Structure 1
Amino acid sequence: MTAGSTDADRLAGYALGTTPAEALAWFDSLEAVEPAAMLGRWRGSGLPTGSPLDGLLEAYGWYGKEFLDAETVHPLLFATAAGPRPVDPALVPIGVLRDRPGLAHSRAARLAFRAVRPLVTTTKPRARLRAVEHRGVRTAAMVYDALPIIDVFRRVSDDVRLGLMDLRGLPDPFFFLLRRGS
């Protein structure tokens, strides 16, 4: 993006994709977020950077995330006919997603997930909301209970957040956007 671009310009420009370095530079330029400013339900979408995870969550019907309070966080909401439902991330094969993205992107894997999704839904929170220091800035982060993942957030606007997923074993961060929902 050019010097002087607004965050809205970047958001629009990056919708078609960017590099991991550009996404990280944008992330670093954004304001920190207080954990309380994350409360509510958020609609998610990936920010394409060439990550093996690009488009994966959307292909599986990812809706977003829900932060009820610091101790009650649903890190993975998936769209269903009855509305968004939380899925227990501990039951999602993260290693396959990370190490075999081709398999994870396959039609067979998507169909299998749709078939078992009712069995992996949960009403229990599976993450917590905390303020952490990341890249020298103290900001809101979601810490998964049972997986080596921390999602770190920066403020794009009152109703938009840029997320950076730090997954152990993934060489570059996975970037995503959250838009405040109902």
Structure 2
Amino acid sequence: MDVRDEVAALRARTDRIDPRELDALWARLDVCRPIDLIGYRWRGFAFDTGHRTGTLLDRAHWYGKAFAGESDVQPLLCRGEDGQLFSDIGTGHGEASLWEVVFRGEATATMVYDGMPVFDHFKKVDDDTVIGVMNGKGKLVFDAGEHFWFGLERDVAL
């Protein structure tokens, strides 16, 4: 099974996913560069590990992220009651920027939140799909000692 098939199988699961399965997948993925993300809106999905951030994103009606430029990132694109997408700067405590940061020994594209000590590191499944892992400080990031895992699929050009 290649990594695309493995990601599809993980997304289709109805039981809780052990974060160690995602750790193992992450180790096999190619690093992502900021240029791989910039210029696109990305539709998000969460892996159900039972992490509290998944519930927070569901309540916010999280849609995904938009990367207009290295210092112009909307980390929490959400769908409003009117159906329109908006950048939820309240929940996200501002917006974000995009850097290359070493995480687990590899320099990879990392979204740095403006108003929280939170980093989203990305690795590539393929040109249109990335896996993200939230890192930083606090309960938003760590729930029972585990990271929050999610993915993004390329949506539309900005």
Deviation at 1:29, TM superposition (A): 1.1
Deviation at 1:82, TM superposition (A): 5.2
2:131 is paired with a residue whose SS is: strand
The yes-or-no answer on 1:65 pairing with 2:65 is yes
Question: Which consecutive segments of 4 or more residues in structure 1 shift more than 2 A?
Answer: 52-56, 80-83
- Tell me the number of residue pairs that the alignment of Structure 1 and Structure 2 aligns: 146
CA contact (8 A) 1:19 1:50 kept: no
Q: Which runs of 5+ in 2 are unaligned?
A: none
Residue aligning to 1:149: 118
Deviation at 1:126, TM superposition (A): 1.5
Superposed CA RMSD in Å reads 1.8
The yes-or-no answer on 1:14 pairing with 2:5 is no
After superposition, where does 1:1-182 map in structure 2 within 5 Å? 5-15=1-11, 16=13, 17-39=16-38, 40-80=40-80, 81=82, 83-88=84-89, 91-92=90-91, 126-169=95-138, 170=142, 171-182=145-156
TM-score by length of 2: 0.85
Structure (1 or 2) with the larger CA radius of gyration: 1
More helix by share: 1
Deviation at 1:55, TM superposition (A): 4.3
Deviation at 1:27, TM superposition (A): 1.0
What amino acid sits opposite 1:160 in the alignment?
T
TM-score by length of 1: 0.74
1:57-93 residue CA offsets vs partner (Å, 9 max, x unmatched): 13431010000010111111001335211011xx32x
CA distance in structure 2 between the partners assigned to 1:12 and 1:131 by the alignment: 27
Q: Which runs of 5+ in 1 are unaligned?
A: 95-119
More strand by share: 2
1:29-72 residue CA offsets vs partner (Å, 9 max, x unmatched): 10001101111100001011232233441343101000001011
CA contact (8 A) 1:162 1:177 kept: yes
CA contact (8 A) 1:46 1:55 kept: no
Deviation at 1:9, TM superposition (A): 1.6
2:54 is paired with a residue whose SS is: coil
CA distance in structure 2 between the partners assigned to 1:56 and 1:34 by the alignment: 27
* 1:55/1:11 CA distance change after superposition, 3 Å: farther
1:54 is paired with a residue whose SS is: helix
CA distance in structure 1 between the partners assigned to 2:129 and 2:62 by the alignment: 17
